[in-house]
Each structure stands twice: as structure tokens, then as C-alpha cells.
Amino acid sequence: MDLTFSPKETAFRDELRAWLAENQPDVEPLDGGEDAHYAWRRDWQRRLYDAGWAAPAWPTEYGGRGASLTESAIYFEEIGRARVPFAANTLGLLLGGPTLMVWGTPEQKERYLAPILSAEEIWCQGFSEPDAGSDLASLKTRAVKDPEHPDQWLVTGQKVWTSGAQYSKWCMLVARTDQDAAKHKGLTYFLMDMEQDAVQVRPLRQITGESEFNELFIEEARIPDANVVGGVGNGWKVALTTLMNERAGLGFALQIRLRQLLDDLIAAAAERGLLEDPRYADALAELHVRCESIRLLAWKGLTDAERYGQPGPEGSLVKWLWSDTNQRLTELAVDIIGPEALTAGTPWSYEFLRARGNTIEGGTTEVLKNIVAERVLGLPRLKVAA
């Protein structure tokens, strides 16, 4: 693993750094709730898009810069370092677009990719259901052909934890199209138009007070054949492409944010004279070592992805360690900062509460540990007694 940037990579970083120094998002809105906040992020994405920085990893033919994996990692590190928000259409840019590039028809690419990039059409991910999360293939939402319109599907079921559904035009929806096939085989991946009465979006309030995610109640929603991605019955493979991109994409930005949060906490401890106290000094030092390990593991994962052409199981290790370290960090922040960090509306209380979901979203820690045990360490698969 060579962490020295080539002249081309350095030029890429310098160009982006210079652009970010000149172009900051508008001041974050304090009023207007989540809708105003989302509009602010959407506006920021439009500015990134106008300058060609919305998704540099996308090939140039689709409006990106054809950035290499290393340049893409640099991009996320710099976005994190500049403390600017993520583009609003994160799921479209990191998950939906790349999935369409692999599995989409030329017509689908032509129709959907550009509005993802410009934030004109927001995307959400309708995978999880009340009884299907880690075991996604057991999902029950079903799609059947409309007997009166054989080129259309009717979808009925319930999805849950659908982030950003309230702002979305399109949903990456996995539904069962063959009730008799084996669990992983009878699934199909659709693009569902959210703007129809048959799709009801109900926000779920989180511990932070926000409603980042939603329940979807779907009652005979209509989806044309043209919106099947990757072929009928092939939904599991297409969904895996989406999930692989989910863990690979944000890792670099998240580890930089973790580092910044740790630097803020060290500064807060110094202000309170707590760095002389070995209890706090030890705890902060341990977090520093963890942050560095995560950073190096993220870069190692990138080297493997370059070598083998796709992200490997090590991405699971980074996600597990990052989420665990973020929870430890925010818990220590409560000790260091005191009651203010537990007062609703303060930045530290938000970090503390939001960190709880980190070990669930994008793969729970238990499931990631299984992946690391089996696919990184080569330990035998867990056998469940009959």
C-alpha cells in the first residue's frame, strides 16, 4: 500500500480544495425544520453539480469526471475536511446511479442519471421491511402483472426505515415477483415512482427528534415494465450491487468526520483542564489510535478494491469500527462536556443520539462481525442447531 499521491491525484486534490475554499454552502438554516435543512443541502448539490463536483467518480459520459478510486477517496476526504454537507441526493449518487450504470438499459441510463446528478429527482432505497432487515431476502412486498395492462406491475406491501422518502421522486424497490421460487431467486428490482396515491409515506420520529426515515405503505402501486432493472427474477444480484456501493461510498468522509469530532473533543477537554487527568488522556489517546487504524484500514480497502475490481469484505470492518468508535467518542463527550451534551438542541447531544443508529444502518454490527469472521478471518460459518 503506497499512500503517496501521484501528480495527477495531487492536482485533483488541489483543484477541489481551491474550489471548496472559494465556494461554501449558504449559512445552515436554523429555522424551518428538516424541510428547510433538506432544501439547503439540495441547493448545495446544485452548486456542486454546476462545477462538476457532484459525483466525480461517475464516468464522464454520465456527467462525472471519471475519477479513479483514489481520487474518489480524496474527494470524500476533502468534503469531510471542508466540513460542508453531503449532497442531498446521497442515495441516488452513491447507490442508485452506480447500480443503473451496471444493470440499467441504455434508455434507463439516459432517462435517470442526469436528474440524479443535478438533484432534480431525489432517490430513496426501499429495501427493508418490518420482517426483513438483515435477512433482506425474506421480504414480502409483492409485485404481480396487471391482467388488464400486461406491460405494468402492481405492487403491494410495506417498507420501513426508508430514508429521505418524503423528498423522493424514485424508490429503488425490491419486491417478490415469484412466490414459488427460492427466497433469493423470486425477487425483482424496480424503480417506483413515489408520486402516486398508491404510495403513502409516513415519517418515523427518531431519538434525535428528526424524521430522517419513513414507513412506506404501498397498495397496488403501478410500475411499468420499462422500470424493471436488471431483468425479472434477478433482483437479488442487482440489490447486492446497491448494497456493495452503500458500504464502499461514504467510508472516507465518515472517518474524516470522526477525526474532526475527536479534535473538537480534545479541544473541549483542554479548555476544561482535563488533559492532565490520566482517565481522560488515556481515553482520548485510545480514540486517537482507533481513528488512525480506521483511516489506514479504509485506504487498505481501497487498494484491495483497485486490485480486485470491487470493494472487498474489509469494508465491513471499517464500518463496524467506525460506528463503534463514534459511539465511544460521543459517550466520552458527555463525560467531558457535562450536562450541556445531554441538552436537546446542542450539537453534542445530536451527535450522541444520532450515533446510536450507526451500528444498525448499512448493516448491523453483529452481521458485519459475521462477515469479518467468515470472509476476512476465514473462520467456519455459524451453524444454527435445528
Q: Using CB under 6 A, which residues numbered 335 to 374 contact ligand FAD?
A: 357, 360-361, 364, 366-367, 370
Q: Which amino acid is at 98?
A: P
CA 158 to CA 173: how far, in whole Å? 11
Q: Does 134 bind ligand FAD (CB under 6 A)?
A: yes
Residue closer to ligand FAD (CB basis): 152 or 364: 364
Q: Using CB under 6 A, which residues numbered 144 to 163 contact ligand FAD?
A: 161-163
3-class DSSP assignment, residue 24: coil
**Identified binder of ligand FAD from the candidate list 125, 245, 255, 325, rule CB under 6 A:** 125
In the complex, the smallest distance separating the C-beta of residue 173 from ligand FAD, rounded to whole angstroms, is 9
Q: Are strands 170-176 and 123-126 parallel, antiparallel or unpaired?
A: parallel
Residue 215, beta-bridge partner list: 160, 202
Q: Catalytic: which of 129, 212, 246, 351?
A: 246
- Between helix 69-81 and helix 7-22 the angle, nearest 10°, is 30
Residue closer to ligand FAD (CB basis): 68 or 163: 163
Q: Does 141 bind ligand FAD (CB under 6 A)?
A: no
CA 282 to CA 338: how far, in whole Å? 18
Residue closer to ligand FAD (CB basis): 132 or 268: 132
In the complex, the smallest distance separating the C-beta of residue 165 from ligand FAD, rounded to whole angstroms, is 8
Which segment (40-48, 124-132, 223-231, 311-319) binds ligand FAD by CB under 6 A?
Answer: 124-132
Q: Does 316 bind ligand FAD (CB under 6 A)?
A: no
Is 70:302 a contact under the CB 8 Å cutoff?
yes
Q: SS3 for 50-96, per residue?
A: HCCCCCCCCCHHHCCCCCCHHHHHHHHHHHHHCCCCCCCCHHHHHHH
Is 136:239 a contact under the CB 8 Å cutoff?
yes
Say how many residues touch ligand FAD, by CB under 6 A: 18
Q: Which amino acid is at 188?
A: T
State yes or no: is 246 an active-site residue: yes
Residue closer to ligand FAD (CB basis): 13 or 142: 142
**Taking Cα atoms as reference points, which of 175, 355, 324, 319 lies closest to residue 246?**
319
In the complex, the smallest distance separating the C-beta of residue 22 from ligand FAD, rounded to whole angstroms, is 33
Q: Does 38 bind ligand FAD (CB under 6 A)?
A: no
Q: Does 133 bind ligand FAD (CB under 6 A)?
A: yes
Is 51:19 a contact under the CB 8 Å cutoff?
yes
Residues lying near ligand FAD in the complex (CB under 6 A):
124-128, 133-134, 161-163, 213, 357, 360-361, 364, 366-367, 370
Active site (catalytic) residues: 246
